[in-house]
Amino acid sequence: MHNKSISELASGLRAGEFSSVELVQHYLGRIGSLDKGLNSFITVCGERAMAQARAADEQLASGVTGPLTGIPIAQKDIFCTQGVKTSCGSRMLDSFISPYDATVVSKLQAAGAVTLGKANMDEFAMGSSNETSWYGPVKNPWDTDKVPGGSSGGSAAAVAARLCAAATGTDTGGSIRQPAAFCGITGLKPTYGRVSRYGMIAFASSLDQGGPMTRSAEDAALMLQVMAGVDNRDSTSVDEPVPDYSVTLGDDLDGLRIGLPKEYFDAGLDAEVAASIDLAIAEYKKLGAEVVEITLPNTALAVPTYYVVAPAECSSNLARFDGVRYGHRCDDPKDLEDLYKRSRSEGFGAEVKRRILIGTYALSAGYYDAYYLKAQQIRHLISDDFKRAFERVDVIMGPTTPSTAFGIGEKADDPVTMYLSDIYTIAVNLAGLPGMSIPVQPVSGRPVGLQLIGNYFAEAKLLNVAHRLQQATEWHLAAPDGFE
């Protein structure tokens, strides 16, 4: 049952082959027996999920159903879920029971999806390995000594291990695509503004974007269909029509122009990963695509620029955690300043504090022009690189990450090395473009992600391009040992 696609599960439910209650019980059973070794969930919503499943079965019996009625999914613990602990992977919000639903949560629930639980993540989405979570690291189901990637590491591990049919993630600098690559699943970061950020706990507001994490492009299309759309509660969401992502999935790729940025295939790329990417590109040529070498000359500036923009916005966003209205409060504060300082210092972990400090410094008097303003200018240059590229090509491809999943603890003490591992994903966020990672041929049993980058609002094209590869190959069907 857990290897079926969302559409297979939906037709099985409609045909009465199994009920949503049976399906949810099956997944809860898998979580109960298999997640101890992975730690991909912070909260499992057993009773709540069973109640949602019973409601789904009533809907199925009455014939009035939504597109995801009875389908069990996981929500990244960054999405506020009413009545459920929403921790954002932080001690700061360990006691936070959300009083409202994020738009993504309410849309998925309205579509009939059942929330199995809240997926583990790097604290406040700051991390590339899921090691910064207050709830402990998540393990990669393909090799439990390796990280699952981050920050949506719990979502990626849970989808790869077949502990849910699909999950939500968020991506500020690669946090959907990099864990999707490390865990061998399909992840899509939509165009900035495509999916509402309302109720999605803010990290860097000009970069954050929610998206689906699934086992196939076909499933991602179904999830994004529900998640996307303008929302009057998020003034940065864009009022652009949402196309039917499923109808164009099978479109022919004949004449598709694929751009390969030479900067994404330089000396920093692992040779075996490069070979897997080449193999996938060769498949695309068989499908009728043409390959064009392109250049994104400002690629090397993406990481430095990001580590000004993201911390600056994070220091501002995380100022709300003051120990007064919600979240962690220290014991016996002696005055208001002590209340703020100790509550925040006890509530936040080392990486979050590091980024708040960098951001506070970059925004402090006298430094704004040299850091934030400069970064926003370079961001324009990076965005222009892509604009020029999309005059010549339909989609840009390259590796999602320079290597396969690294070891737990391997980079934890070296933040800058950890930051540089997001070299291929970060520019996409700075430009606000949609990006996707899909599994290609693994290296020594470890998954490799092919990154697809599209023009603004070209999600349908990305899903189509991803789907055609998944029809022609079987890389996306592989399951980790012990989770088949």
Partner 1 sequence: MSLVRDDVEKIAHLARLAVNGDELDSVAAGLSDILQMVEQMSSVDTAGVTPMAHPLHMTQPLRPDRVTEENRRDLFQSIAPQTEDGLYLVPKVIE
Instruction: Restricting to residues 359-418, name those near partner 1 by CB under 8 A.
Output: 360-361, 364, 370-371, 373-381, 383, 415-416
CB of 218 to partner 1, least distance (A): 28
**CA within 13 Å, CB half, 7:** 8
Q: What does the block give as tokens for 168? A: 């939500």
Task: Give whichever of 286 and 334 is closer to partner 1, judged by the CB atom.
Answer: 334
For partner 1, the binding residues in 104-133 under the rule CB under 8 A are none
Q: 120 and 133 in contact (C-beta within 8 Å)?
A: yes
Cβ–Cβ contacts within 10 Å for residue 26, how many?
14
Strand partners, 291: 258
H-only helix segments in 364-432: 374-389, 415-420, 426-431
**Measuring CA to CA, which residue among 133, 77, 313 is closest to residue 208?**
313
Measure the CA–CA gap between 180 and 183, rounded to whole angstroms. 5
Smallest distance from partner 1 to CB 326, Å: 5
Binding residue for partner 1, selected from 329, 403, 410, 471, defined by CB under 8 A: 329
Tokens representing 252 are 């022919």
Which residues in 421-480 contact partner 1 (CB under 8 A)?
430-433, 456
> Is 133 part of the annotated catalytic residue set?
no
Q: Which of 153, 170, 231, 72 is nearest to 408 (CA)?
A: 153
Of 218 and 234, CB closest to partner 1:
234
Out of 158, 303, 423, 465, which residue is the one contacting partner 1 (CB under 8 A)?
Answer: 303
Whether 216 is a known active-site residue: answer: no
Selected binder of partner 1 within 133, 152, 299, 305 (CB under 8 A): 305
Using CB under 8 A as the binding criterion, the count of chain residues that bind partner 1 stands at 72
The span of 10-18, 233-241, 277-285, 286-294 binding partner 1 (CB under 8 A) equals 233-241
The torsion of the CA quartet 293, 295, 301, 303, rounded to 10 degrees, works out to -30
Q: Is the dihedral of CA 465, 471, 474, 478 positive or negative?
A: positive
For the bound state, the minimum distance from the C-beta of residue 363 to partner 1, rounded and expressed in Å, comes to 9
90, 175, 196, 237: which one is catalytic? 175
CB of 200 to partner 1, least distance (A): 17
Sign of the alpha-carbon torsion through 183, 185, 191, 197: negative
If one asks whether residue 295 binds partner 1 (CB under 8 A), the answer comes out as no
Determine if 325 is a binding residue for partner 1 (CB under 8 A): yes
Chain-centroid distance, C-alpha 171: 5
| Residues whose CB falls within 8 Å of the CB of residue 60, separated by 6 or more in sequence, listed in order | 13, 14, 16, 19, 20, 69, 70
Distances 364 to 204, 319, 352, 360 between C-alpha atoms, Å: 17, 14, 18, 6
Q: Which of residues 162-201 bind partner 1 (CB under 8 A)?
A: 191-193
Hey, how many other C-beta atoms are within 10 angstroms of the C-beta on 36? 8
Query: For partner 1, which residue of 334, 366, 444, 481 counts as binding (CB under 8 A)?
Result: 334
Stretch that binds partner 1, among 39-47, 56-64, 151-159, 354-362 (CB under 8 A): 354-362
Shortest distance, position 298 Cβ to partner 1, whole Å: 8
Residues 64, 275, 282, 336: which binds partner 1 (CB under 8 A)? 336
Residue span binding partner 1 (CB under 8 A) among the ranges 51-59, 90-98, 161-169, 255-263: 90-98
Among 40, 76, 90, 216, the one annotated catalytic: 76
Instruction: Please identify, using beta-carbon distances, which residue of 275 and 300 lies nearer to partner 1.
Output: 300
By CB under 8 A, is residue 482 in contact with partner 1? Answer: no
Interatomic CA distance for residues 168 and 73, integer angstroms: 8
The residues pairing with 258 across neighbouring beta strands, listed in sequence order, are 291, 395
Residue 333 within binding range of partner 1, rule CB under 8 A: yes
Q: Catalytic site residue 33?
A: no
Q: Give the residue numbers marked as catalytic.
A: 76, 151, 175
